[in-house]
Amino acid sequence: MWIRKSSIRPVPAFARVTAGTVDKVRESLLSDSDEEVEAGLDEYFDDFEQVQPALYAAVSGALEEPMDETTRALGYFLSLVVWLAFQDAHGRALKSVSTDEIRGTTELLEFDSQLRAEDPTDPLETDDVITMLQPALMQFVHEQIQAALEDQGSSANLDELQGVYKVLMVELLSLSYAVSAPIGFPLSKAEAQA
């Protein structure tokens, strides 16, 4: 299914991350003791930085902006889940994302938001489009942000959470576009042009 008006390129079916993969990553991060989790997180972040240096720099740079520590921790946790899910699902088929690709994806998201703001009859928001492209990951991100909002109540800083959400959308789409097609995988016309 494709949307009638969007600047966001389609995500090929082979690049999607399944709910099973997201659950596996979540369980692996949350099943250990506190000491094991902390050691594992450090190792995962080191791997993220080595395998995706430009993306890691973009994510960590945005998350080091002044913000509430709870929001920052949520951002780091979700960015790690997104990266690990792609790494688990696609392994060597996942190419390193360049700074130019990150910039291009950021511009696509900004332009798509502008398109939707100019058409009040369009019922979809940019994140709705992304949810159609990567439903399992977006559902997990939405659940975690909703839980943070409920936990923080009226003390939640919505601007900070929105900033974290935007960074995650850039990461998610950048990684979606960085998955190489399996040999012999037939591409639709829209995917071939992406």
Distance of alpha carbon 164 from alpha carbon 93, whole angstroms? 27
**18: containing domain:** 13-179
In a domain, 185, yes or no: no
The pLDDT score that the predictor gives to residue 1 is 45
Give, for all 194 residues of the chain, the pLDDT tens digit: 444 566 788 888 999 999 999 999 988 887 766 666 666 788 889 999 999 999 999 999 999 988 888 899 999 999 999 999 999 999 999 999 999 999 999 998 888 888 777 777 766 777 788 888 899 999 999 999 999 889 888 888 889 999 999 999 999 999 999 999 888 777 655 455 55
Pick from 94, 86, 109, 97: nearest CA to 9: 109
* Kind and range of the H or E run holding 82: helix 69-90
Looking at the structure of the chain, the number of domains it has is 1
Distance of alpha carbon 86 from alpha carbon 114, whole angstroms? 28
Distance of alpha carbon 86 from alpha carbon 80, whole angstroms? 10
**CA pseudo-torsion sign 102, 108, 110, 127:** negative
Pick from 96, 88, 92, 91: nearest CA to 50: 96
The pLDDT score that the predictor gives to residue 188 is 59
In a domain, 115, yes or no: yes
In a domain, 8, yes or no: no
The pLDDT score that the predictor gives to residue 41 is 80
The terminus-to-terminus CA distance of the chain in angstroms comes to 15
Distance of alpha carbon 167 from alpha carbon 161, whole angstroms? 10
The angle formed by the CA atoms of residues 29, 33 and 35, to the nearest 5 degrees, is 95
In a domain, 134, yes or no: yes
In a domain, 37, yes or no: yes
The conformational region for residue 91 under phi > 0 = left, psi -120 to 50 = alpha, else beta, is left
The pLDDT score that the predictor gives to residue 127 is 79
pTM score: 0.85
In a domain, 73, yes or no: yes
